[in-house]
Structure 1
Amino acid sequence: MGTCFLLMAAVAACCPTKHLRLGGIDFAARWRRLVEQGEIQAVSNVDRRVVRYGLRVEKKTGTIQEFAEDSDTFQSVLPEGLSKRAGEYPVRLAAIRRLRPPSTFQEAEIPPHDSETCSLCGGPQRLQLREPLGKLMVPTTGRVWDCHFNIAPQQTDGHGLLVPTLDEEANRRKQALLFEDIVDLTTLAFTQTILPRRSLCINFNAPGAGASQNHIHAHVWVQHESYPIDKYPLSKKRWDMKEGKVSAAIVKGYPAASVCFLGRDPKDIALAVSNVITTATTQFNLTYNFLISGLANRKGGGE
């Protein structure tokens, strides 16, 4: 039984491994190779100086580390990061995330998409200039998604961006999920695309709920532990959705208002999620995060 979570506010961030696969992409190996090649780096103007930041391999330990340095003096200017627990929630703010490009919008309302100024398909750090992690073809729909590295990754061992291929002009659009997007992302998570299961997480942040760039994209990153929401019980009452064999339940006690969708057919689940998103955003002016959990370890009877 697959599960999808729809959170009407925010989410928090299972198995660490060196052998992660995303479709035909050897995610872990490709990630490390790009770091070794110096690809996951960028330049930004900070306090009137040019700063190069990103990831590189530490020579003595062989581990992947964050760095930020003055481009002229090579002196480290890495800001302080944050990694701790707030109760049961893991909290991590990668230091280099503070140096990433600023948000292209501030409110939940999405501005028009402009290909010429869009940071992902038209700006100086546009995706076409980066060496991708690879391409994914959704097995049931045939649609193609490009997997790129995040220029300011949250996880040093893997944080990618999933975007509908930019080879098609129609995919140069704003950060809003279409029904077809939800079908694709749900299918990728529910099929054998991710191996080992639940080693990578796929999620989508809407404007006003974490999105900073106005170009359609989802995140895929390494999970070192399951999302806290997976540990919360579901309401015993289930609502049978009109869209196929899908049921919905309230996640009890989670800090953000959350709905869990359960079903076996990604297309049925996607239709139910799409309809709820439309209602939540148009009638109630809510923003949301969409987390695809794949096969959740949940017991019957509401847990």
Structure 2
Amino acid sequence: MKRTNLRSQNITKQRRQVQTYGTQTPLSSAAVERGSTRWLNGSTVVIEGLLDVTGTINGRGTNNFSGTNNLSGTNKLTGPTTVAGNFEIIAGGLFKAGSSLIRPDGSAEFGAFKIAPDGTATAGLFELRPDGSANFGTLEILADGTLNVNNDVNVLSGGKIKVGTNMTLTPSADGGSILFQDGSKVTSVGGVVRMIGAGSGAEIRASLNAAQFQVGSTVMGIDSAGDWFMQSSGTTFMSIGSTASLTGALDVSGKLTVGNSVLFTGLQVQFTGIPTTANKPNVHISGTGFLYKSTFDPAAA
């Protein structure tokens, strides 16, 4: 076996070439096989051109990248991530963070809160639609502003409130009404409350100091002073203060008892069906129209 003379001129020349190539700046066309290259003592590696790595890059500490950074394939970020500036996902990407999803079609999910591609937002019994309508459980708001509560109470345009199918509350400039399906209603106009029956014409009116009850052409009324009246078919019976008056005919069937004087003015008084007797007269009418029981005895005169 031939031995190599390590002191020969060829070996010395080779050592000189390796030392020259290993410390030359810049270093070009270098390859390291089955080994490693280490830069010590705060050295800096400057690459002017392309860094092409096949395999794995392990970076520790702070990694600073500027300019445009293109990452392809599967990229995984662990730990807190801070983005300063715009964060844009293009080309049909899906954004997912825990249970939150943002899809390319504009839909999204944030836990129980969901947004459909058309802009409809839902969460449990809550639903908000792009036309302005919404549902909050049994409370529904239509696009025209109509408010429905459990499909039983509806607030319509103009401030009308419909309760079920049988009652409607309608406002007006000087009052309002409660309308019932059978045609009866309660109204308040100008400070007067009216309760009107369906079809019968019966009506009750209540104002600040008076009340009236009417059925057809018959009217009964009373005020806060205690005055009252009854009127029907041309006949009026009223009491004002301490005086009661009757306009029309008075038909009494039975006994009429008057505890004080009775005054008839401009009237004819007719008594029919009076029993007869042979006793002497005992009735006297004075010149002023007063009727007396007379004690005059013509036989004693």
Same-fold status (TM-score > 0.5): no
Please identify the structure whose Cα radius of gyration is greater: 2
Q: Specify the TM-score bucket, using the shorter chain as the normaliser.
A: under 0.3
Q: TM-score, normalised by structure 2?
A: 0.14
Q: TM-score, normalised by structure 1?
A: 0.14
